[in-house]
Copies of this chain bind each other. A is one copy, B any other.
Amino acid sequence: MPADEIPGFWAVVPAGGAGTRLWPLSRSGSPKFLHDLTGSGRSLLEQTRDRLAPIVGDRLVVVTGTAHRDAVRRQLHELPEDGVIAEPSARDSMAAIGLAAAFLEQRGAEVMGSFAADHVIADDAVFASAVADAVAAARDGWLVTIGIEPTFASSAFGYIHQGDTLDGHPGVRTVVEFVEKPSVPVAEEYLATGSYRWNAGMFVVRPSVLLDLLAEQDPEFAANLRAIAAEPDRLPELWEKLPRIAIDHAIAEPAAAAGKVATVPGAFGWDDVGDFDSLAGLLGEQEDVTVLGDDALAQVIGSSGIVVPGSGRMVAVVGLDDVVVVDTPDALLVTTRARAQEVKNIVSALKDQGRTDLT
């Protein structure tokens, strides 16, 4: 069943982050949202657009770095000129989403929702239904976040502590507070209560509500964003004055404390594809090797994990469990799912050695 389009609702897609734990596939020059990491034939960015299109039609804005503007346009060629907002430099999520909010406020958008370009969602229909509930609450002035049903006690995500059901919105709960990434034992306690959700950074809100919430915390920040939207030529000048802060800290946490945040519990199968362990879990069976790419380029004996033959060369793997082998034309990674987080340390080491050609 295709989702219904939601009138007056705009999607904002922040497309940033190098995804260093997915090196050597993901590079600063070619970050993960540009890659087909699921073997679907579409990049994560294209999948995000495809997921949102039924809900928003052509009301979609991508916020990305200047370096990636052309690549984004190549993948989403239907985007109009003002469908891509290029950040002169990376200034964290408040500036990125806030700038989109300011432009959308200017254009008279009723409600906006921010959805990262590099997440994977299994059930688009359930996702669309959650978004519809979130938009309905956002129209009533709430800052609404979609809370992901946790599938295990992860220490890699922040959590949303949900409260009571919102009056008039049966599928929506108030947010008691946002909590930072917990330890695994604390996460286990969260899961046992049934009242905690993963914070996936999906915020649905009226653009003016978002900017007004920001203005309560940092009036100059909000004023500068609105000034850029009014006079886009001032972007280069004003952008560098914007604080580097995550939207969670800038507005979501103080707004939750003030009782202005709601959440829609979402159970649509979500993954942020944070590292190769996550990717392997997303794609494959535990007992086998999943080949992301051309099967004919992998020769596997008695192994499990994930193999990415990405250079055209033959990749042979013998007798390794939960292995991660990623072959690209200029760099090769061999690790295990359990150690996949440490791949970022390889990237750091290469940067320290001046090998920016590889990072």
- What are the 6 tightest A-B residue pairs by CB atom distance, in nearest-first order? A319-B339, A318-B335, A314-B331, A316-B346, A317-B334, A316-B333
With A325-B334, A334-B334 already in contact, the answer to whether A342 and B319 are too (CB < 8 A) is yes
Give A305-319 as 1s and 0s: 1 = Cβ < 8 Å from B's Cβ atoms. 000000101111111
A357 CB to closest chain B CB (Å) equals: 9
A299 proximity list for chain B (CB < 8 A):
346, 349-350
How big is chain A's contact interface, by range? Answer: 35 or more
Check A184 for interface membership: any CB of B closer than 8 A.
no
Question: Cβ of A330 < 8 Å from any Cβ of B?
Answer: yes
Is A358's beta carbon under 8 Å from chain B?
A: yes
Quick one: given A301-B346, A346-B299, are A317 and B335 in contact (CB under 8 Å)?
yes
Kindly list chain B residues whose C-beta atoms are within 8 Å of the C-beta of A340. 318
Chain B residues whose C-beta falls within 8 Å of the C-beta of A339 in the assembled complex: 301-302, 318-320
| A327–B316 CB distance below 8 A | no
Nearest B residue to A342 by beta-carbon distance? Answer: B318
A209 at interface by CB-CB < 8 Å: no
The reply to whether B358 and A346 contact each other, CB–CB distance below 8 Å, is no
A293 to chain B, nearest CB (A): 13
Contacts of A318 in B (CB 8 A): 333-336, 339-340, 342-343, 345-346
Chain A at the B interface: mostly helix, strand, loop or mixed? mixed
A338 sits at the interface (CB 8 A): yes
Indicate whether A302 sits within 8 Å of B342 (C-beta atoms), given known contacts A24-B316, A358-B314: yes
Q: Which of chain B's residues have a CB closer than 8 A to the CB of A13? A: none
Docked Cα-Cα span, A346 to B315, in Å, equals 10
Q: Cβ of A72: which chain B residues have Cβ within 8 Å of it?
A: none
B319 touches A338 (CB 8 A): yes
Kindly list chain B residues whose C-beta atoms are within 8 Å of the C-beta of A331: 313-316
Taking the closest CB of chain B, its distance from the CB of A277, in whole angstroms, is: 11
The yes or no answer to A332 lying at the interface (CB within 8 A) is: yes
Give, as a whole number of angstroms, the nearest-CB distance from A29 to chain B: 15
Output the residue of A302, A318, A327, A349 with the most chain B CB within 10 A: A318
Known: A314-B350, A330-B314. A320 touches B302 (CB 8 A): no
Q: Which residues of B contact A345 (CB under 8 A)?
A: 301, 318
A329 part of interface (Cβ distance < 8 Å)? yes
Which residues of A (264-293) have their CB < 8 Å from a CB of B? none
